[in-house]
Amino acid sequence: MRRLMSLFGRPLAQLGRRKLQTLPVAAERQLHGRSVDSIEPRPLCMQSKCGEKQPPQTLRWGIAPVNLMTEDFATALSVLPAHRHSITSCMDAYRSQATAFANKHRVPKIYTSFEDLARCPDVDAVYISPLNAMHCELCHLMLNHDKHVLCEQPLGMTEQQVVELVGKARARGLFLMEGIWPRCIPAYHILRHEIMRCKLGRIFAVECTLGWQLPTASPKAAEYAGVAKDLAPYGIQLALWVYREVPQQLRVSGKLNRDGIDVAADIDLIFKGNRRARLVLSAEQDLQNTATIRGTKGSAIMNSLWCPTELTFENRDFQFELPVAERSTHFNNRIALCYEAEEIRSCILAGLTESSLFNHDESRLMVHLTSQIKEMLEEDDQDARFQQKQAVG
Amino acid sequence: MRRLMSLFGRPLAQLGRRKLQTLPVAAERQLHGRSVDSIEPRPLCMQSKCGEKQPPQTLRWGIAPVNLMTEDFATALSVLPAHRHSITSCMDAYRSQATAFANKHRVPKIYTSFEDLARCPDVDAVYISPLNAMHCELCHLMLNHDKHVLCEQPLGMTEQQVVELVGKARARGLFLMEGIWPRCIPAYHILRHEIMRCKLGRIFAVECTLGWQLPTASPKAAEYAGVAKDLAPYGIQLALWVYREVPQQLRVSGKLNRDGIDVAADIDLIFKGNRRARLVLSAEQDLQNTATIRGTKGSAIMNSLWCPTELTFENRDFQFELPVAERSTHFNNRIALCYEAEEIRSCILAGLTESSLFNHDESRLMVHLTSQIKEMLEEDDQDARFQQKQAVG
CB within 8 Å: A215 and B215? no
- Determine the Cα–Cα distance for residues B73 and B45; give it in Å rounded to an integer: 17
Strand, helix or coil at B26? helix
Question: Which residues in chain A touch residue B94, judged by CB atoms under 8 angstroms apart?
Answer: 114, 134, 137-138
| Cis peptide bond N-terminal to A56, omega within 30 | no
Contact (CB, 8 A) for B238 and B291: yes
CB within 8 Å: A94 and B114? yes
For the stretch B81-128, pLDDT in tens is: 999 999 999 999 999 999 999 999 999 999 999 999 999 999 999 999
Q: Is the pLDDT of residue A341 over 60?
A: yes
Residue B382: pLDDT band with limits 50, 70, 90: confident
Question: Which residues in chain B touch residue A137, judged by CB atoms under 8 angstroms apart?
Answer: 94-96
Residue B178: closest CA among B154, B162, B161: B154
Q: Is the pLDDT of residue B293 over 70?
A: yes
Mutation target vs B (from A95, A138, A224, A330; most B CBs, 10 A cutoff): A95
Chain B: closest CA distance from residue A44 (Å): 35
Among partner residues A115, A134, A216, which is closest to B216 by beta-carbon distance? A216
Flag whether residue B186 sits within 8 Å of chain A, measured between CB atoms: no
pLDDT of residue A59: 98
- Determine the Cα–Cα distance for residues A376 and A232; give it in Å rounded to an integer: 14
Question: Which residues in chain A touch residue B330, judged by CB atoms under 8 angstroms apart?
Answer: none
Chain B: closest CA distance from residue A296 (Å): 46
For the stretch B73-94, pLDDT in tens is: 999 999 999 999 999 999 999 9
Flag whether residue A94 sits within 8 Å of chain B, measured between CB atoms: yes
- Determine the Cα–Cα distance for residues A71 and A24; give it in Å rounded to an integer: 32
pLDDT of residue B386: 76
Chain A: closest CA distance from residue B160 (Å): 18
Strand order across the beta sheet in which B310-313 lies: B2-3, B249-256, B262-271, B275-282, B203-211, B287-295, B298-302, B310-313, B316-319
Flag whether residue B96 sits within 8 Å of chain A, measured between CB atoms: yes
pLDDT of residue B258: 86
Residue B12: pLDDT band with limits 50, 70, 90: very low
Among partner residues B94, B115, B219, which is closest to A112 by beta-carbon distance? B115
Q: In B, residues 126-165, which contact A (CB 8 Å cutoff)?
A: 134, 137-138, 141
pLDDT of residue A312: 94
- Exposure b/e, A346-372, CB count within 10 A at least 16 = b: ebbeeebbbbbbbbbbbbbbbbbbbbb
Contact (CB, 8 A) for A176 and A146: no
For the stretch A205-261, pLDDT in tens is: 999 999 988 866 666 666 678 899 999 999 999 999 999 999 999 999 999 998 889
pLDDT of residue B10: 30
Flag whether residue A96 sits within 8 Å of chain B, measured between CB atoms: yes
pLDDT of residue A28: 36
Residue B2: pLDDT band with limits 50, 70, 90: low
For the stretch B313-371, pLDDT in tens is: 887 899 999 999 999 999 889 999 999 999 999 999 999 999 999 999 999 999 999 99
Residue type for A344, please?
I
User: What is the helix (H) or strand (E) element at residue A384, kind and residue range?
Assistant: helix A360-392
Question: Which residues in chain B touch residue A217, judged by CB atoms under 8 angstroms apart?
Answer: 215-217
pLDDT of residue B54: 59
Chain B: closest CA distance from residue A113 (Å): 5
ipTM: 0.80
Contact (CB, 8 A) for B300 and B200: yes
DSSP A61-114: EEEES-SHHHHHHHHHHTTS-TTTEEEEEEE-SSHHHHHHHHHHHT-SEEESSH
Mutation target vs A (from B91, B113, B259; most A CBs, 10 A cutoff): B113
CB within 8 Å: A113 and B93? yes
pLDDT of residue A218: 65
Q: Is the pLDDT of residue A62 over 80?
A: yes
Instruction: Give alpha helix (H) positions in chain B.
Output: 4-7, 9-13, 25-31, 36-39, 68-77, 95-105, 114-119, 135-144, 159-172, 186-196, 227-230, 232-243, 337-349, 360-392
Chain B: closest CA distance from residue A381 (Å): 22
Q: In A, residues 353-382, which contact B (CB 8 Å cutoff)?
A: none
Chain B: closest CA distance from residue A237 (Å): 30
pLDDT of residue A320: 94
For the stretch B17-51, pLDDT in tens is: 333 332 333 333 333 333 333 334 444 544 444 44
Mutation target vs A (from B90, B94, B131, B142; most A CBs, 10 A cutoff): B94
CB within 8 Å: B94 and A137? yes
Residue A201 φ/ψ region, left for φ over 0, alpha for ψ in the -120 to 50 degree band, beta for the rest: left
Residue B212: pLDDT band with limits 50, 70, 90: confident
Question: Which residues in chain B touch residue A132, judged by CB atoms under 8 angstroms apart?
Answer: none
Which whole number is the average pLDDT over A145-162?
96
Domains of chain B (ranges; CATH) run 1-7+26-38+190-315+361-393 (3.30.360.10), 59-178 (3.40.50.720)
- Determine the Cα–Cα distance for residues B231 and B219; give it in Å rounded to an integer: 15
For the stretch A364-392, pLDDT in tens is: 999 999 999 999 999 888 887 777 777 66
Which whole number is the average pLDDT over A51-63?
77
Strands (E), chain A: 2-3, 59-64, 85-91, 109-111, 125-128, 148-151, 176-178, 203-211, 249-256, 262-271, 275-282, 287-295, 298-302, 310-313, 316-319
- Determine the Cα–Cα distance for residues A257 and A100; give it in Å rounded to an integer: 39
pLDDT of residue A222: 64
pLDDT of residue A386: 76
CB within 8 Å: B95 and A137? yes
Chain B: closest CA distance from residue A112 (Å): 6
Q: In A, residues 211-250, which contact B (CB 8 Å cutoff)?
A: 215-220
Residue B70: pLDDT band with limits 50, 70, 90: very high
Residue type for A22, please?
T
Residue type for A47, please?
Q
Say what percent of chain B tops pLDDT 70.
83
Q: How many CB atoms lie within 10 A of CB A198?
A: 12
pLDDT of residue B4: 59
User: Residue A205 burial by CB count (10 A; 0-12/13-18/19+): exposed, middle or buried?
Assistant: middle
